[in-house]
Structure 1
Amino acid sequence: MADLRGILLAIDLATRQRDEYAKTVARAQRTVLHAQSQMDALTGYAGETDQRWLGAGASQLSVELMRHHYQFMDRLQAAIALQTQAIANAQRQVELVTKTLLQAEHRLAGLKQVLASRQLTALKQQQLREQRLTDEMASIMHARRQAASLIGESP
């Protein structure tokens, strides 16, 4: 068991690291959801604003007021474009940290396989030692019986 301490420590550290990566993935996914929620709010607001202007009767509004409306809508569309980029960046971040998480999981699985292999090897060695002891005891018992039969004693 002493020789397994190193691999057990490595597994513990790899597990902690994997768990941290999982938390990072969850945070990145929440960031995407938040960015998408902001996008939904922006597009909803843009749609509502357009509907209000259509309902107000654009023909009755002054040219200056129409110009301000179009400037506002241009800025709103620019904000929507920026939010689209923010969502794409957040999704790329999710992909990146997910790959890192998968690598950590593969490393952990590999360490667990090494542990299982070492445990199996240790078990086989223990069984060999026990078999040798059993064989040695049987050999000693056989030698005693042989010696006793030569001397004429019964065991």
Structure 2
Amino acid sequence: MPTPNDALDTLAARLREERDQALAQLRRAEQQLQGVMRQSEQLDGFRGETLQRFGAAEGQATSPDQLRHLHHFIGRVDEALLQQQGAIEQARKRCERSRALLVGVELRLASVDKLLARRAQQAAEIQRRREQKQSDEFASRSAWNRLHGEGAAPGLH
């Protein structure tokens, strides 16, 4: 016959699995965030290097076409950086949602674990009382037997 703790044990096991999945999801979201942040840093570094190279070549004759191409190219890199910022923001939101999901599961699991611990403590207390009652009854019977001479020879009291 199933006990109330069986249902709680099953729930706790399911919540542990859910927690593990939520933790794995959070780790994936954090890795994705780090990846898009690295890409953004690389794009920004590339932009800076390109401008630096152009600045180093400033003493050389630059045609209007070259300047136009450079501005167009930097504009495209800036657009890519803006897109990366959007990707970073989306990845941050995924991390926040994943973290909130994990916290919720952990709170539910902690509640169930606390309830299981409380029930185990109550069961242990009931068992302790039962054992104490048996011990008291044994001691009482032993004392009664000594006082009333059960097992003693007649007339020796």
Match of 1:54 in 2: 55
SS across alignment from 1:50: helix
TM norm structure 1: 0.85
SS across alignment from 1:10: helix
Greater shift in the superposed pair: 50-59 or 97-106: 50-59
Greater shift in the superposed pair: 80-89 or 124-133: 124-133
- Pairing 1:4-153 to 2, within 5 Å after superposition: 4-57=5-58, 60-145=61-146, 148=149, 153=154
Q: Which runs of 4+ in 1 moved over 6 A?
A: none
Q: Distance in 2 between matches of 1:2 and 1:76?
A: 64
- Alpha-carbon deviations, 1:8-61, whole Å to 9, x = none? 222222112111111111111111110110001100111111112122227622
Question: What is the deviation of 1:65?
Answer: 2.4
Q: Distance in 1 between matches of 2:22 and 2:83?
A: 28
Greater shift in the superposed pair: 86-95 or 59-68: 59-68
Question: What is the deviation of 1:137?
Answer: 2.9
Q: Tell me the number of residue pairs that the alignment of Structure 1 and Structure 2 aligns.
A: 154
The RMSD of aligned alpha carbons is 2.5
Question: What is the deviation of 1:124?
Answer: 1.1
Q: Distance in 1 between matches of 2:71 and 2:60?
A: 14
The letter for the 2-side match of 1:43 is D
Unaligned segments of structure 1, at least 5 residues: none
Higher percent of residues as helix: 1
Unaligned segments of structure 2, at least 5 residues: none
